[in-house]
Amino acid sequence: MRAKVHIGTQKTGTTTLQDFLHVNRAALLGQGFLFRRYGRQGNQPELTVATFDRLGDLLGDEVLKVALGIRDLESQAAFARRFDAEIRRDTARHPDATVLFSCELLGAPRRNAKFVEAFHDWARGHFDDVEIIVYIRRQDRYAESCYSQYLRGGGSKPFDRYLEDFQPPNYNRLVRLWEAQFGADRVTVRRLQRKDLVGGDLIEDYCSVVGIDTAGLERPKSLNQSFTLAQADWLRKANARVPAALQRGQTDRAVRWAIRSLAGVVPPSGGAALRMSDAARNDLLGRVAASNEQLRKRRFPEDESLFEE
């Protein structure tokens, strides 16, 4: 059995890609590719749970634990067993299919060697051939997108203050972790910049890498797009006005959900993109310049720099 595992990274169009795979799952099966959701979440967090179960560690994401009904190591182990059983059923029903997975949680910057090794052991327990696909994005653009996500979650810090604690991802370290387990020839690294994407498009590029014929497939709209400068400022101020005295329960979440929804439905005037200052950009990119250069030399030696300026 073969599997192709897209591990993100985060903020590289993963939600749009996952929606594309989901809405076209029947057509993809006709092409020999199996993709399915194993629960309500579109990003297959079950893969992360299975990995933590292998480690013997409890999943740390409190929101995800609640969503999946995980309370402790015992309930996590039961969840992982059910997921493993579903994978076995799927592969038994479709022994000739290539199974597609997409979970940006796997490629989160904080992952360490033990985590990747545990995922490798889990994957090789089900599949003979596993390919890893990872998309990377210039770190300043990544930070700008992360700030939009921070605001969606109720954050109220100004962008410059948010950046003070922001840790840009070290892509060279991340890629090396996955290469160490799966082999460099089984890890495909793609850059999320128009000149490098097939057709200048993420979905076309992914399908080219995987071998999917996109003719006749449905194209979903782009999801989780970054806010404009005006939208970000509006939402930040709205988040700050949520009364601190509100109970930290359903009421607070409902109010924040309503505010976040309004940011998309009634955007303020002005369409300038949310961008960090030149000084902040130079500082952030300076912190990852050495690791970016190491990755360029190993993976993209024909280019003068890892990312477009």
* Tens of pLDDT, residue by residue, the chain (309 residues): 999 999 999 999 999 999 999 999 999 999 999 999 999 999 999 999 999 999 999 999 998 999 999 999 999 999 999 999 999 999 999 999 999 999 999 999 999 999 999 999 999 999 999 999 999 999 999 999 999 888 888 888 999 999 999 999 999 999 999 999 999 999 999 999 999 999 999 999 999 999 999 999 999 877 666 778 888 888 888 788 765 545 444 455 565 566 555 555 545 555 788 899 999 999 999 999 999 999 999 999 999 999 998
pLDDT, position 265: 54
pLDDT, position 259: 59
Rounded to an integer, what distance in angstroms lies between the CA atom of residue 107 and that of residue 6? 9
**Which of left, alpha, beta for 164 (phi over 0: left; psi -120 to 50: alpha)?**
alpha
Just give the CATH number of 2-139+169-224+289-299: 3.40.50
pLDDT, position 270: 58
Instruction: Note whether 49 and 79 are within 8 A (CB).
Output: yes
Rounded to an integer, what distance in angstroms lies between the CA atom of residue 301 and that of residue 64? 39
pLDDT, position 247: 41
pTM given for the model: 0.90
Taking only Cα atoms into account, the Rg of the chain, rounded to an integer number of angstroms, comes to 20
Instruction: Note whether 192 and 16 are within 8 A (CB).
Output: no
pLDDT, position 245: 44
